Amino acid sequence: MTKTINLKELFDNFEYTTMQSYENMSVIGIKSNENYNNIDILPLKKGLQMGLVEIGELENANVNTLNVTNNAITPLLILDGEELIGAKQNRIANATYIIPPKTNMQIKVSCTESGRWNYTTNHFKYSGHFAEANLRKAKAQDVTESLKTSGIRESNQSRVWNRISEVSNTLKVKSKTSAMREIYTNNKAKINEYLDNFKDENDTIGSIILINNKVSGIELLFNRTLYKQNHRKLIESYIPEAIEQKNEDYDNESIDVDKFINEVVTSKIEQYEPDGIGVDVRIESEDIIGSTILLENNPINASFFRKIKT
């Protein structure tokens, strides 16, 4: 297996932009002196739109497993938390998957629409949303634990549904099928208020997202074009958390970015064989959960979250 990543060296190469803030949420852009643009990889949205990628239910449909066909001549990138809509119910990817060219394989997913189990389309379409951030945090904890015990990227489906229900109730979302995506569509105006204040700056490859001056997560895509395509969707995924915590008291002077990064780079690292190609690196400490996917010794995608305490 490929040598694992040195997180301290990675973060030492980063530069940070001026913080952008709106209400109780802030975003700091991440830049790097390294050139990470040397791997040709197909984003999920483009693959589906071009008809090079087909994702569908198994012959005997299973809530937590889907079939992926990559007919492209380049690897396909499915990002952790990207949502697919249609088929028998909407799903999100349980991890970041790199699917080899000309390959058919199965991936582990979680359902984000508990109130439907009937076909609306034969195959899945691109949702345009990531799973809400606290849902991704809970899922990351469960998937990492599943990898440790069974080597499978399995989530806790009940926990996923409970989180969707919780945030839907708080944000007064009405959905006949309890669909996660309606958290975004029902609150579009308020979410856009936040989004319009978090512009993607030139040459960024990631962001640090803070809620009430505490780091909620760090998102990285080690390709400028890929990050630009996903910036708005990734930032959007943290806004429901910000709205939920809007009325909580917090210290306006205390920001814990350095502390969070230090905990990331000193966390315990484990690496696993991927579903697909590359290396799946998992990091964990008392307060942090995260993952990085590597391909040909290059980092492709990384997410680091503050754990949800249970």
Number of domains composing the chain = 1
Question: Does residue 144 belong to any structural domain of this protein?
Answer: yes
Q: What is the pLDDT along the chain (310 residues), one digit of tens a residue?
A: 555 789 999 999 999 999 999 999 999 999 998 877 678 999 999 999 999 999 999 999 899 999 999 999 999 999 999 999 999 999 999 999 999 999 999 999 999 999 999 999 999 999 999 999 999 999 999 999 999 999 999 999 999 999 999 999 999 999 999 999 999 999 999 999 999 999 998 889 999 999 999 999 999 999 999 999 999 999 999 999 999 998 888 777 778 899 999 999 999 999 999 999 999 999 999 999 999 999 988 999 999 999 987 6
Structure tokens given for 235: 């930032």
The candidate with the shortest Cα–Cα distance to 204, out of 185, 178, 176, 223, is 223
The Cα–Cα gap between 17 and 29 comes to 5
Q: What is the CA radius of gyration of the chain?
A: 18
Q: What is the span of the domain harbouring residue 266? A: 7-306
Burial 57-70 (b: 16+ CB within 10 A, else e): beeeeeebbbbbbb
The per-residue pLDDT for 3 is 58
Structure tokens given for 106: 């199965």
The Cα–Cα gap between 160 and 22 comes to 28
Q: What is the DSSP letter of 73?
A: S
Question: Does residue 102 belong to any structural domain of this protein?
Answer: yes
- Residue 16 identity (one-letter amino acid): Y
Neighbours of 262 (CB within 10 A): 13
Reported pTM: 0.95
Strands in 42-43's sheet, in edge-to-edge order, are 42-43, 76-78, 97-99
Question: Does residue 236 belong to any structural domain of this protein?
Answer: yes
Question: Does residue 195 belong to any structural domain of this protein?
Answer: yes
Question: Does residue 1 belong to any structural domain of this protein?
Answer: no
Structure tokens given for 96: 């970041």
Question: Does residue 190 belong to any structural domain of this protein?
Answer: yes
The Cα–Cα gap between 79 and 63 comes to 19
The per-residue pLDDT for 37 is 67
Question: Are residues 86 and 123 in contact, defined by beta-carbon separation less than 8 angstroms?
Answer: yes
Residues 6+ apart with CB under 8 A from 71: 52, 53, 54, 102
The per-residue pLDDT for 239 is 98
Question: Does residue 261 belong to any structural domain of this protein?
Answer: yes
Question: Does residue 2 belong to any structural domain of this protein?
Answer: no
Neighbours of 43 (CB within 10 A): 21
Where in 116-201 does DSSP place strands (E)? 124-130
Question: Are residues 206 and 79 in contact, defined by beta-carbon separation less than 8 angstroms?
Answer: no
Beta partners for 147? none
The per-residue pLDDT for 297 is 87
